[in-house]
Amino acid sequence: MMQLRFSAGAEGWEKRLCEGMSAQIKVLGLKSMDPKRQIAHFVDITTTGDDGTEAVKGWLEASGDVHGTDLTELGKGRIMGVIMTSGCRVCGSLIDSNLASLVSSAATESDCTMSYKLYLNSEGVPKLLNKLSSGGVGYKVTEISQVAEDRGLTTRQLDVLKSAIEQGLYDYPRRITQEELAVKLGIKSSTLNEILRRAEKKILGTFLGEADGQKRAAGTAGFQ
């Protein structure tokens, strides 16, 4: 399992919001809405001013690549929801490469570039970079590193976890039961449970390990 970090210039609605409203955009997930070839962006948007949902929608509607929104204002200057678009070149490359489910984070920087962090197998790194290059995307790779084997998910675990998320197993309320998902995947419910538990254990182990490391670093810094 490899970790890839790269940056690329924001395009379309992302660029418009970043430059026009000084908004910081975090893309929490992507989903292809075939056959329309549209892409759903699950976003967390923060603006520096008093701009509310309607102001953000106004800027989005002025972008020709936005086809619909479902946004909720969470507080002063913060909005979350879904933006339906015809996609940017990076998003299209991720979707076409079948790698979008592995996006760990994507967010705008102060200069309105988008910074991406992905986890993918070793074959996926050149596949994605070639896709970006052939699509005319100017990008800068900032990190390619090996993820510790005991913390990385297997391809099987990633595929099953992706299906569980997309089908709504982790939604509240759930849109599908574990038994129903097992039928869709063509496996036993007990097998599905084992795969998910192993994947969740690895994810939690990584998260808790990183949190513990940050805590220790903060404690050490306090004594300097």
pLDDT in tens, 23-63: 999 998 888 776 567 888 899 999 876 667 788 888 888 88
- The reported pLDDT for the residue numbered 211 is 47
Q: What is the pTM of this model?
A: 0.62
pLDDT exceeding 90 applies to what percent of the chain?
23
Residues in CB range of 126: below 8 A, 6 or more apart: none
Tell me which range, 83-92, 184-193, 210-219, is most confidently predicted by mean pLDDT. 184-193
Q: Residue 219: what pLDDT?
A: 45
20 HSE (CA, 13 A, CB side): 16
Residue 93 has pLDDT above 50, yes or no: yes
pLDDT category at 113 given cuts 50, 70, 90 is very high
pLDDT at 206 over 60: yes
Q: Is the pLDDT of residue 149 over 90?
A: no
- Whether cis (ω within 30° of 0) applies to the bond prior to 35 is yes
Write down the pLDDT at residue 215: 47
Q: pLDDT at residue 218 above 70?
A: no
Nearest 5°: CA angle at 16, between 70 and 52?
A: 45
Number of residues in the chain: 224
3-state secondary structure at position 10: coil
Determine the average pLDDT of the residues in 118-138.
85
Distance of alpha carbon 5 from alpha carbon 143, whole angstroms: 5
Residue 128 to residues 65, 93, 120, 122, 150: CA-CA distances in angstroms? 23, 7, 10, 11, 24
Q: Where are the domains of the chain?
A: 2-146, 155-216
Nearest 5°: phi and psi at 49?
A: -100, -155
Within a 10 A sphere around the Cβ of 169, how many other Cβ atoms?
A: 19
pLDDT for res 216:
46
> CA–CA separation, 219 vs 61, rounded Å?
47
Q: Is the pLDDT of residue 70 over 80?
A: yes
pLDDT for the residue numbered 207: 62
